[in-house]
Structure 1
Amino acid sequence: MESLEGWLASRGQGHDPLAEQHRWALLPPGKLLRPVLLMESAAAVGGSIEQVRPVATGFELMHAGSLIHDDIIDGDEVRRGREATHCRYGVDRAVVGADALFFAVFATLGECRRRGVPDRLIADATAVIAEAGLRITRGATLELDLSGTLHDDTDAYLEVARLKTAALLRAACRTGAVLAGATAEQTAALTEFGEALGIAFQIRDDLLPYGRERRPGTRTETAAAGKPRTSDLRNGRPVLPLLLAHRYGDDAERALLAELLGAGQERSGERSGERATVRAYASQEAGADEESRQERLHQLLERTGALKAAQHTADTHLDRCREALEALPPSSHRQRLAALAARCHSRRQAGDEGAGR
């Protein structure tokens, strides 16, 4: 938090025209998961937290930039309980501001160098961060390609999660290890931990709109992830619970899923092996709003066992996290990394009714 304030203060001193917008996007902060992962990873292999703190802040800047882009693409107007950045400042300025946040992470590496991190490690970390940016863009494009389709290709979903979401967590852990001068084995272990954690966190976020605390008839507009709970429904995003409902549901349940997603097959005579694209079609409840459809979707996901199956998938990746940490020496920092992974269990929010059929 102090590091974010310091970075914002330095922007303001230079009369940066994006300073106000960046303050809006960054404060109040989110969970600060990526900065924490980077610092704990460095410390877990004997590195100095103070030396890597600047680039830890840089990872939060990069994350905030990706959220601005996501909100523009998804058309979401709310982020963390208030206006999304592009709604407050306009799409043009939001795009430019988000791009600035992506580049800013590299400037923070310069501060790490001034704090004593050797040049060769700075160069290695630069490559890690650049690769993460490329992974994020590939994942976002793949997600767009898959959006609006009814299918049960969980492998494609996991690839999107690995690239779009897990890339930055993976890079945070790997950057911490690299800047701390970790061994190849330790660096590989922390990289594996970050990637598995990122996939598990993406699945958990997919489950947030279906939390136990929600009751039919209530109208909470924003999920704990900070965006409207109906966002994935409205945009036809290929989130894991929907894919699993399509896999485990019977014909009637699949038809209902298509109705709730406002989807139908665009054409029946397409080339063999080409996935059918999905077009909007009239629902039997033409006047039903998104919240009503979201509640019916929730019931369907419980009935098919999709929610429990999705959580089980997350748990398999959390097992990868625990195994990866075994390569690190015992320490309070390793324990804190393990605790971050355990949050996916302790904050489990999906219903447990039924198993995937």
Structure 2
Amino acid sequence: MTAAFDPAAVRGRRLIDAAARASFPGRFPTDWLAGAGLRGRSGELAAAINRPARLYLERPGKMLRPLITHLLLEAFGKDPRAYREVLGAIELIEAATVSFDDIIDGSDLRRGGPATHVQYGVNRAYLAYQAAYNWAYRAFLSPALGLEQWRRDHILRTLAGEIFAYGYGQALELYWTARRREPSPEQYLAMSWDRIRFLSFNGPFRIGALLGGAGRRQLPLFERAGSWLGMAYHLHGDELNLFPRSGEWGKPLADDITCGRYTYLYLSAIARSAPGRRALLRRALGDRKISGAALKNVIDIVRASGAVEENRRMIGVFYRRAAAAVERLKLPAKYRTELLKIARYMAHDRPK
């Protein structure tokens, strides 16, 4: 029987942990401060930007994104140690993006501790997000990578495009939430495709392929694998928010509901419930003062509606598309097998 994927024990995890911790400085280098006209401001900037930007790096997650890139580098015959800064930058971008995500969603907890905006305030959290995301670009500009210009340009262009698409998706979700404009489940999926762009894992797949030496014609297949897998991961996370499988789930139970966030799971429950229950589900959305008993009743309604089964059906659709793309990648068979193990974990098996 094939061993289950464990992100904490996977090959390369120690390298990636160290790379992530080093991806954003505790204080900006003196020469960088001088070049930016900020000589003597190191202490101020550390308090305003460096410490907030490093919060989630010091409270690490599963590191799935750099793990995927690490695996692809190996599959192409590259030594991942030569790409330490890139692996760190990928995790830095993810940490920065979820920090901003927490502001937009009104999430107070992340990875078992206070969210960045709770610990440092919204203004500093937002500045740190911007600084970290832009600092990460330095890794892809390094001459040491020896990249052909088109490969470097493709990485930078797609990173810029995806953060724009992410902002568009966030704005659309904010509009729905603030105006109580209830999207259909299908509209929600279309929005998610934009909102989770980098978080959808197409970035780590693409970067690994470009650094590894994949040709232009191969790239869309890597991107599709990451995109479909990201959608499955996202929907699985929405289910875990209501039905966590681990006592270490790092966020409050059902805060998607109490913070007023639409999900495919919840929208499917609304669509499938009888009128009375449908009204109750709509009233509960965004109710931060809802009692524990009332919240449990709402979760029970979601479960009884058949929405969990529908959510899992959709996860299966995305997972199968991702797996089909992985099977077609021109990589040694053992690496395709490892990617499929990661995919299974992300779509179905992860407990938190």
TM-score by structure 1 length?
Answer: 0.80
The letter for the 1-side match of 2:264 is: L
Deviations 1:132-164 (A, max 9, x none): 211211111121122253646122111222112
Deviates more, 1:22-31 or 1:202-211: 22-31
1:4 matched to 2:20? The reply is: yes
> What is the aligned partner in structure 2 of residue 334 from structure 1?
336
Cα deviation, residue 56, structure 1: 2.3
Amino acid in structure 1 at the alignment position of 2:338 = R
Per-residue CA deviations over 1:173-219 (Å, capped at 9, x if unaligned) read 112212222023431111001000111111011101232659xxxxx
SS of the residue aligned with 2:55?
A: helix
Q: Which amino acid aligns with 1:200?
A: A
Contact residue 175 and residue 181 of structure 2 kept, 8 A: no
The CA deviation at 1:49 is: 2.5
**Matched-pair contact (CA < 8 Å) for 1:230–1:291:** no
Matched with 1:345 is 348
* Number of aligned residue pairs: 317
Where do residues 48-127 of structure 1 align in structure 2 (5 Å cutoff)? 48-111=79-142, 113-127=143-157
Deviation at 1:241, TM superposition (A): 1.2
Contact 2:21 2:57 (8 Å CA) reproduced:
no
In the TM superposition, what are the counterparts of 1:1-357 in structure 2 within 5 Å? Answer: 1-9=17-25, 11=27, 14=30, 15=42, 17=46, 18-111=49-142, 113-147=143-177, 149=180, 151=182, 153-168=184-199, 169-211=201-243, 213=245, 224=249, 226-261=250-285, 289-328=290-329, 329-343=331-345, 344-347=347-350
CA distance in 2, matches of 1:250, 1:183: 53
- Distance in 2 separating the partners of 1:152 and 1:106: 35
Q: In structure 1, the residue corresponding to 2:56 is in which secondary structure? A: helix
Residue in structure 2 matched with residue 353 of structure 1 by the alignment: none
- Give the residue type in structure 2 aligned to 1:60: E
In the alignment, the residues of structure 2 paired with residue 171 and residue 325 of structure 1 have an alpha-carbon distance, to the nearest angstrom, of 15
Quote the Cα distance in structure 1 between the aligned partners of 2:183 and 2:122: 34
Instruction: Deviation per CA, 1:279-314: give whole Å up to 9, x if none.
Output: x8xxxxxx9735333311210011111011101101
Task: Quote the Cα distance in structure 2 between the aligned partners of 1:45 and 1:184.
Answer: 15
Contact 1:129 1:175 in 2 (8 A): no
Percent of residue pairs bearing the same amino acid type:
26
Aligned to 2:12: none
- 1:45 offset after TM fit, Å? 4.0
Per-residue CA distance 1:57-104 (angstroms, 9 max, x = gap): 112111111122122222222221112112222221111111011101
Alignment RMSD, CA only?
2.5
Are the aligned partners of 1:161 and 1:198 in contact in 2 as well (CA < 8 Å)? no
Moved more, 82-91 or 42-51: 42-51
Letter in 2 for 1:335: T
For 1:333, the aligned partner's letter is Y
Distance in 2, matches of 1:5 and 1:126, equals 22
Contact 2:53 2:96 in 1 (8 A): no
Gaps of 5+ in 1: 215-219, 263-279, 281-286, 350-357
- How far is the alpha carbon of 1:255 from its aligned partner? 2.0
Q: Distance in 2 between matches of 1:213 and 1:49?
A: 33
- What is the CA–CA distance in structure 2 between the aligned matches of 1:212 and 1:156, rounded to whole Å? 26
In structure 2, stretches of 5+ residues that fail to align are 1-16, 31-41
Kindly indicate whether the alpha-carbon contact (under 8 Å) linking 2:50 and 2:128 is maintained by their aligned counterparts in 1. no
Question: Kindly tell me: are residues 102 and 241 of structure 1, through their superposed partners in 2, closer, same or farther at Cα, counting changes over 3 Å?
Answer: same
The worse-fitting range, judged by mean Cα deviation, of 122-131 and 166-175 is 166-175
Q: More deviation in 136-145 or 49-58?
A: 49-58
Letter in 2 for 1:4: A
CA contact (8 A) 2:258 2:284 kept: no
Q: CA deviation at 1:333?
A: 2.6
The answer to whether the Cα contact below 8 Å between 1:138 and 1:164 also exists between their aligned partners in 2 is yes
Give TM-score scaled by structure 2 length: 0.81
**Separation in 2, partners of 1:348, 1:304:** 23
